[in-house]
Structure 1
Amino acid sequence: MTNSNDMPLAAKPLDRAAHRRTDEAWLEKAMQDDASLFFLMRAGEPFVEKRGLFWMGPEARKLSPGSPVLFMGEDKTGAPVFAMNLPERFDVAASLIAGTGEFMDFRGAVGAMAEMEANLASTARSLFAWHSSHGFCAKCGGVVGIVDAGWKSQCQACGAEHFPRTDPVAIMLAVKDGKCLIGRQAMWPAGFMSCLAGFCEPGETIEQAAARELFEEAGIKCDPASAEYVACQPWPFASSLMVGLILEAETTEITVDKTELDEARWITRAEAREILSGKHSELYAPPPMAIAHHILKTWALRDE
């Protein structure tokens, strides 16, 4: 059975120790503690070595004084863990971390990380991206400042509080008569197929969003009541919660919305298994890091 707690980017989370976020005296002391741990991000990319994240102690703050720092939580020993966001123009070669690692594309980097590290990097990526694009108050337009150890911002003019957003996304597999529906966006490589997906709109449930998106993108009608929950996954592009569903289709004729998809097709369980195993002659699926892989696998490995 698929379990969200075991999903890549979600598994083995750190104790977030949220009660520490408002204790500024504790946080300042923690950032100077020799037992504290820091990892580095830059423009959404983690700084990694061969074994995963590159870890530093409090000397990390010397790399770029004043750069944003997030309190991520405490490890099993109680050591404070922080993420630091370095400037986009930060020169590794001219710094004290020269030769120790490199900034790497997120998708490529997390494959070499331990589960907890992948969760940390994913969380930090989402938070830093939110702060970088939400520097002004949505209420009065004033400049906001980062508070609560990076988990909130507050307007310096009107005092309004702003919290990092997570967008719910339905990612779903329509199924009927032993076949499932997969699709491909035009920007994706040839042969790369996945589940269909779309954002949940105000006033609708995630099941209703799934049924609406299936009809809008591929012309397939489904009853939201038929939706089966599979699992969910935090996805830091930019900050989404992917909610995986399987829905029973009521129709099979495909009408592709070319503004959303390049193509969509029905495949059998046998074909789905070939795709997942990398043995299909034409098609391939998202890797195990993505929830789409696990939704397709959940259905493909069921008995007929």
Structure 2
Amino acid sequence: MWLSRSLLRPAGHYWRRLACLGPVVQKGDGMAITCEKKKCLVVCTFSSSSNASDIFKVSQPAFKRVTEKRTDSAWLSEVFSGSSLIIPLLGSKCLVKSQEPVMLPSKNFPTDHFLNSTCIWKPIFLGVRGETDEPLFAVDVTGVSSEYLNQNFWPEGSEWVDLRKYGSELSSADAGLLAYARGMVEWHTKNKFCSQCGGKMEIKEAGHSLQCISADCGRAIYPRLDPAVIVLVTCGDYLLLGRQSRWEPGRYSLLAGFIEVGETFEMAVAREVHEESGVRVKIEGMRYIASQPWPFPQSLMVGFIAEAEEKQASLPEFVDDVVPVGSYGVHLLAENLSLPAIAVDMKELEDARWVHRSRLKAVLENKQTHGGGPFSVPGRHAIANHLMQEWTKHKNGTESEWAGDTVPYVDIDEGVFKYVLIQVNDDMGNKKLIVRGDKSMAYHSDIFKHTRQVLMTLGLQAEVLGGGRISHDVAERSIHVYGFSQAYGRANHAVTATLLRQWFPFHAVSFSWDGY
């Protein structure tokens, strides 16, 4: 067999990818595989899916909930009037200063005015501060008279912000605390009246319960979460990303959706991915990774990784004079051709794309591609970002690095120019293919010589695998590959187009064997 994928096993186990693409054989009881190439000698074993604590690094919360204090009325009254800290909220907005939450000592807070004004809800007890054990309360000041909101009562330099947009500016612990406060305030705001009889709801358990005041009803409710799945769908070295029309231009993320009645998490993953993108995922090997509260307004994001069902496709026919690219180049082409077709549900998404691991890694590292257009992903506190970071870091199960990792797969110009396809190697047998094109260089040999000199400084060798021409229209987001090189022969334009699609996922990339 050939190891062309990370082969997922039942119960969440997976094979680690070998260093080369040589033939492999199973050893012993099938719990290990080894490469038959003498120069490789890599032995791989499978391991259990990584622990969520290893995958999703989350800071310890900035507070302790101390739930037993929620019913201690005497203690709550005492600390609120003395040694507690108040986190003010203006509806869904939080008060911050210098990228930190504003917490006001309760003794300096005009509680009498706030609690006797048009504010409906009393302070909500959140817990105690992790380091100092100071009690923390959330107070919604939306109903406070404008004189208090407009005067210089709030700390100088502070500002009301939308946590959903500003959260990445805060530490993970602070963002989690404000998200908790915001979620509780939101729950109170939406549950002023009983859904059963319409009576007013009265605060209980320091804000963590509401009870209908009607003697005939008395229904009690508690904060609830809406579970939703968010899934990292892979196909080899490609990841499925989608975008909603209301997002800023170029913003893409993982596919997600709410769990329906009677569904398991796994059922929801398969259904949501297929409904939104038309792509089917394999139930076997689907793995839970981590979860994240998402109080916008009251969700719990449950993260999974799943592998897409590949499309069966054959390689295109090559012309006789194409320079061979070897098994590695053919593998790149075959992997791209096996990507499932995407059929976007326009009610859910505006667009969905297969994005290559290398391109996503560049985005996560804030390396923008010339002529690639806007492309961004959720910020560092979002679970989608954490799942993407982990996936790009582990390169299909191996963390081995080599100098070629720093070399971009594609570096091309705009307009019409000559290009060369180059294989990059090191002494350990690592290799990759790259595309280089520059309209300022008149000959294919100039492009190759310049690239080879750059690679030599990294201790890498270069072998030219033919050339041709590229027409790159940035405005139209289109790339066409054609022609040949008199010095090096005709490059395999199908492989070149595959590398270009990896680096320009939003371009229409085509090729032909014609031209010069």
TM-score if structure 1 supplies the norm length? 0.92
Aligned to 2:345: 257
Name the CA distance, whole Å, in 2 between partners of 1:246 and 1:31: 45
Matched to 1:82, the amino acid is F
Aligned counterparts, 1:134-145, within 5 A = 134-145=191-202
Summarize the Cα distance change of 1:289–1:100 in structure 2 as closer, same or farther, 3 Å threshold. same
Residue of 303, 313, 316 corresponding to 1:244? 303
Residue of 375, 378, 387 corresponding to 1:286? 378
Deviating more after overlay: 109-118 vs 12-21: 109-118
Matched to 1:301, the amino acid is K
Aligned to 1:230: 289
Identical counterparts, % of pairs: 33
Task: Please identify the structure whose Cα radius of gyration is greater.
Answer: 2
TM-score if structure 2 supplies the norm length? 0.55
The one-character-per-residue Cα deviations of 1:6-63 (angstroms, maximum 9, x if unpaired) are 43xx742411010011111211111012x21111111111112224111211232245
Name the CA distance, whole Å, in 1 between partners of 2:163 and 2:276: 28
RMSD: 2.1
- SS of the equivalent of 2:185 reads helix
How many corresponding residue pairs? 301
Which sections of structure 2, spanning at least 5 residues, go unmatched?
Answer: 1-49, 311-339, 397-516
Aligned to 2:132: 77
Deviating more after overlay: 245-254 vs 123-132: 245-254
Summarize the Cα distance change of 1:90–1:293 in structure 2 as closer, same or farther, 3 Å threshold. farther
Whether 1:130 and 2:157 are equivalent positions in the alignment is: no
Summarize the Cα distance change of 1:269–1:90 in structure 2 as closer, same or farther, 3 Å threshold. farther
Is residue 173–residue 196 contact of structure 1 (8 Å, CA) maintained in 2? yes
Whether 1:119 and 2:168 are equivalent positions in the alignment is: no
Is residue 197–residue 213 contact of structure 1 (8 Å, CA) maintained in 2? yes
**How far 1:113 moved relative to its partner?**
3.2
Summarize the Cα distance change of 1:100–1:149 in structure 2 as closer, same or farther, 3 Å threshold. farther
**How far 1:271 moved relative to its partner?**
1.3
Aligned to 2:101: 53
Summarize the Cα distance change of 1:90–1:165 in structure 2 as closer, same or farther, 3 Å threshold. farther
- SS of the equivalent of 2:86 reads strand
Q: Following superposition, which runs of at least 4 residues in structure 1 exceed 6 angstroms of deviation?
A: none
Name the CA distance, whole Å, in 2 between partners of 1:265 and 1:50: 37
Which sections of structure 1, spanning at least 5 residues, go unmatched?
Answer: none
Matched to 1:79, the amino acid is E
Is residue 85–residue 104 contact of structure 2 (8 Å, CA) maintained in 1? yes
Name the CA distance, whole Å, in 2 between partners of 1:152 and 1:295: 34
The one-character-per-residue Cα deviations of 1:253-301 (angstroms, maximum 9, x if unpaired) are 2110000011111111111111211224332111102111111112122
Aligned counterparts, 1:1-304, within 5 A = 3=53, 6-7=57-58, 11-33=60-82, 35-58=83-106, 59-60=108-109, 61-62=111-112, 64-66=114-116, 67=119, 68=121, 69-75=123-129, 76-87=131-142, 90-91=145-146, 92-94=149-151, 96-97=153-154, 99=156, 101-157=158-214, 158-251=217-310, 252-281=340-369, 282=373, 283-304=375-396
Aligned to 2:434: none
Summarize the Cα distance change of 1:11–1:45 in structure 2 as closer, same or farther, 3 Å threshold. farther
Name the CA distance, whole Å, in 2 between partners of 1:28 and 1:114: 30
Name the CA distance, whole Å, in 2 between partners of 1:178 and 1:150: 48
User: Which gives a bigger RCO, structure 1 or 2 (Cα 8 Å, sep 6+)?
Assistant: 1
Deviating more after overlay: 140-149 vs 59-68: 59-68
